A and B are shown apart, each in its own frame.
Chain A
Amino acid sequence: MTAIGPIRTLLMPAPLDRRLPEPNSLRRASDAAKAAVAVAVDALAGSAVTEETGLYVGQQQVPLEYCQQFIDTSYRNGPRFASPMLFSESVANNAATHLSLTLGFRGALQTFIGSRTAGIGALLAAAEDVRAGTVESGLVVVLSFASPLTVQAYEAVYRSKAGFPLQNGAAAFRVRREAFEGSRELARAGLRCRGRTPAEQRRALKDLDAPPGAKAASVFWLAREESLAALREAMGEILPRRPEGESFALDPFLALSEGGPRTVVTLGEEGTAGLVALA
């Protein structure tokens, strides 16, 4: 079996520094990296990190806040003012780096990006490695941290003047081969992508073959009606939009952590569909 531990979550705003084991070493880190460390500590619950512990981070976006600062500064003031610190904090595996440095991960270190199924990709990779015995256990950390630039970009693409709310936050849980305290069995997880049209999205959802009772955990706030229709057709029910806003790759794990459905499905606006089913 593959057992996943209780999903610990941390939603922003949160007093991050108080939750960090070494706040000083993370003083220049992004909130995303700080939240990753804080929620990882919570999920590890004192269990040791060894070279046999894999770390799997899933996030749709890279840390855009530092990326934007880096670009703004260097564009406005010239290339001479480009900051190496801002640049190194902008890379996609930045949270994994801080987790490794702070908590001592020395084994497999993987970051998954690119769509709102990135968290499910991280879970899949951890489950595969644990099953194959290439790691003894895994820690999955899922992040959603948007910047004002994210909002501007979505508003521009979808021509929305109203904007849409975003909820920043993180989730973490352990993955092991045998049951442990508070764990649940992972029955199935999957990813599919057939293309970007609504018809292709519908087929990708169908490919996942979601069991009865599955719920769609994540719907893009500006989703086209066709995408929503595809989701309704495949799932029957879409969980109500969170009033705090959407959380991209984090949404499926927020749904699973709240005593909600045992099976959730998510559909990215670009057409990637993902499913997580707990026994």
Chain B
Amino acid sequence: MGGTRRVVVTGFGFVSALGFGPEDHEPALREGRGGPAPITRFPTEGFKTRQGGQCDEGRLERELRARFPAAALRGLGVDSRMLVYAASRAIDDARLRPPSVLPVVIGTTLEGFWQGEQWYESHSRGAPDRARPRRLLQMTSGAQLATLAGLLGLPLEPEVVSNACATGVSAIGRLFRRIRHGGCDAGLAGGYDTLTRFIQLGFDSLGALTSKVCAPFDRARSGFFLGDAAAVLALEELESARRRGAPIRAEIVGYGESADGHHPTHPHPEGEGLARAIRLALGSAGAGPGDIDYVNAHGTATPANDAAEAKGLLRALGDDIARRVPVSSTKALTGHTLGAAGAIEQCFCVLALERGFLPVQANLADPDPACPLAFVRDPRGAPRTAMNTSLGFGGANGVVLARRWEERA
């Protein structure tokens, strides 16, 4: 595999229904506080489920206005705004001042679908004059990254990945590998997605959404709720970060990816693909199953995902270790944020490693015997290595390993 350069996280920025950045999220993760609320962004009459995790758009506007001129923000949808917030925060947090071009690997499954959806609704109702087609100019992720480049005044090297629910980890994995193998010294990686009518309807039609609490790994689990989020991490080669005296939050030590090749929407029931991705991530980190101190699981709370994921963990880590490693799925709190999920969950891993705690497993009353894992009940802990798993439509699996930052020879 080559690659000997070490890759560190020098900054992050994130927003979700739980709030903005580490200050809002850490208490929620420690206490298992959060969950869905009635959707107000679009009408939900006739939907089987009417709850979701919307971000605070008023506060988002205020946060952005504190940094950017109002005119520059005009016409941007909530998706673009969240992305700009997370990316600009990550740059500030890392004190990143790129000398030439900044590689940006961003993941999304919906891009600016919210704008497209509003245009199409007006258009299809026979009111094209009121459809405001300029909304469509912010619909593609390319346009959203161009807006980001313009606002930040930075030349970007833009890549947009879309690997369904594994998108966020794919983006981080891509940039990690690139830095590790000498393709660049620093860049941004992350993901974003917005709760829209289309996506709510889609997952509703699949029966994947719950109208109760989201209870990953519980015997009575009945699915997830969808949520807004954007999360961006600044990754940097260690010596580059040291040279400029950058703050170091954690180290990314491994990445693995695989495809199930099993079913368009269901994971492999034995977790084979996930197990392969975990082994590849461990191999790329030069680590073993016994090194893992915390797993932030994909944990969507659907019957199929959680059982398959548990089997994948057991298969890759071995029965003994997999039954002892602390595991939680933070989707119980944020909801499933699709293209942002892997990225915001990576931010949670970094936060847990840096501040020494374990995000608790919320809403777990009766653990499913098919998921014989050690779920986090108590936030006290000091994990040294955290594993972040994501599984997506099409059988895409991605696994990122991060380590608490400590100087070593």
Which chain A residues have a beta carbon within 8 Å of chain B's beta carbons? 51, 55, 60, 62, 67, 70-72, 74-75, 78-80, 82-84, 87-94, 96-98, 100-101, 104-118, 121, 124-125, 128-129, 131-134, 149, 152-153, 156-157, 190-197, 200, 203-204, 207, 268, 270-272
Chain A residues whose C-beta falls within 8 Å of the C-beta of B276 in the assembled complex: 51, 106
Chain B residues whose C-beta falls within 8 Å of the C-beta of A82 in the assembled complex: 201-202, 204-205
Chain B residues whose C-beta falls within 8 Å of the C-beta of A87 in the assembled complex: 201-203, 205-206
Q: B206 contacts A84, CB within 8 Å?
A: yes
Produce 1/0 per residue, B159-184, CB < 8 A to A: 11111100000100010011011010
Give A82 to B395 CA distance when docked, in angstroms.
Answer: 23
Instruction: State whether the Cβ of B334 lies closer than 8 Å to any Cβ in chain A.
Output: no
Instruction: State whether the Cβ of B116 lies closer than 8 Å to any Cβ in chain A.
Output: yes
Chain B residues whose C-beta falls within 8 Å of the C-beta of A91 in the assembled complex: 109, 164, 393-394
Give A2 to B159 CA distance when docked, in angstroms.
Answer: 20
Chain A residues whose C-beta falls within 8 Å of the C-beta of B109 in the assembled complex: 91-92
Residue of A nearest to B202 (CB): A87
Between A and B, 12 residue pairs with Cβ closer than 8 Å are A75-B124, A82-B201, A84-B205, A84-B206, A88-B265, A88-B393, A96-B394, A106-B261, A107-B258, A108-B258, A115-B160, A193-B146
Produce 1/0 per residue, B233-260, CB < 8 A to A: 0000000000000000000000001111
Q: B47 contacts A79, CB within 8 Å?
A: yes
Report the tally of A-B residue pairs with Cβ distances under 8 A. 235
Give A117 to B146 CA distance when docked, in angstroms.
Answer: 13
Instruction: State whether the Cβ of B127 lies closer than 8 Å to any Cβ in chain A.
Output: no
Q: B146 contacts A156, CB within 8 Å?
A: no
Shortest distance from the beta carbon of A53 to any chain B beta carbon, whole Å? 10
Chain B residues whose C-beta falls within 8 Å of the C-beta of A107 in the assembled complex: 257-259
Instruction: State whether the Cβ of B372 lies closer than 8 Å to any Cβ in chain A.
Output: no
B 23-76 contacts with A by CB, 8 A: 45-48
Shortest distance from the beta carbon of B156 to any chain A beta carbon, whole Å? 5
Give A71 to B139 CA distance when docked, in angstroms.
Answer: 17
Chain B residues whose C-beta falls within 8 Å of the C-beta of A111 in the assembled complex: 161-163
Q: B141 contacts A79, CB within 8 Å?
A: no
B 125-166 contacts with A by CB, 8 A: 128, 131, 133-134, 136-137, 139-147, 149-150, 154-164
Chain B residues whose C-beta falls within 8 Å of the C-beta of A152 in the assembled complex: 123
Q: A97 contacts B145, CB within 8 Å?
A: no
Q: A114 contacts B131, CB within 8 Å?
A: no
Give A111 to B161 CA distance when docked, in angstroms.
Answer: 6
Chain B residues whose C-beta falls within 8 Å of the C-beta of A271 in the assembled complex: 142-143, 146, 149
What is the interface of chain A mostly: helix, strand, loop, or mixed? mixed
Residue from the set B3, B108, B143, B276 with the largest chain A CB neighbour count within 10 Å: B143
Besides the contacts A114-B160, A133-B1, what 9 more A-B pairs have beta carbons closer than 8 Å?
Answer: A75-B121, A91-B164, A92-B164, A104-B261, A106-B276, A112-B159, A204-B155, A272-B146, A272-B158
Q: B163 contacts A79, CB within 8 Å?
A: no
Give A90 to B142 CA distance when docked, in angstroms.
Answer: 19
Partner among A51, A72, A116, A193 whose Cβ is within 8 Å of the Cβ of B149 = A193
Which chain B residues have a beta carbon within 8 Å of chain A's beta carbons? 1-3, 45-48, 101, 108-109, 111, 116-117, 119-121, 123-124, 128, 131, 133-134, 136-137, 139-147, 149-150, 154-164, 170, 174, 177-178, 180-181, 183, 198, 201-207, 257-265, 273, 276, 392-396
Known contacts A82-B204, A153-B116, A272-B146; decide if A125 and B159 are in contact (CB<8 Å).
yes
Q: A125 contacts B140, CB within 8 Å?
A: no
Q: A195 contacts B146, CB within 8 Å?
A: yes
Q: A195 contacts B120, CB within 8 Å?
A: no
Partner among B3, B162, B178 whose Cβ is within 8 Å of the Cβ of A93 = B162
Chain A residues whose C-beta falls within 8 Å of the C-beta of B117 in the assembled complex: 71
Q: B259 contacts A109, CB within 8 Å?
A: yes
Shortest distance from the beta carbon of A223 to any chain B beta carbon, whole Å? 14
Shortest distance from the beta carbon of B261 to any chain A beta carbon, whole Å? 5
Q: A196 contacts B146, CB within 8 Å?
A: yes
Q: B259 contacts A100, CB within 8 Å?
A: yes
Q: A153 contacts B119, CB within 8 Å?
A: yes
Chain A residues whose C-beta falls within 8 Å of the C-beta of B121 in the assembled complex: 75
Known contacts A82-B205, A87-B206, A200-B149; decide if A156 and B123 are in contact (CB<8 Å).
yes
Chain A residues whose C-beta falls within 8 Å of the C-beta of B257 in the assembled complex: 107-109
Give A117 to B261 CA distance when docked, in angstroms.
Answer: 27
Residue of B nearest to A270 (CB): B143
Residue of A nearest to B198 (CB): A71
Give A169 to B259 CA distance when docked, in angstroms.
Answer: 25
Partner among B2, B3, B137 whose Cβ is within 8 Å of the Cβ of A157 = B137
Those 7 A-B pairs whose CB atoms lie nearest each other, nearest first: A115-B142, A195-B150, A97-B394, A114-B141, A156-B133, A114-B160, A87-B202
Give A276 to B139 CA distance when docked, in angstroms.
Answer: 26
Residue from the set A55, A72, A109, A133 with the largest chain B CB neighbour count within 10 Å: A109
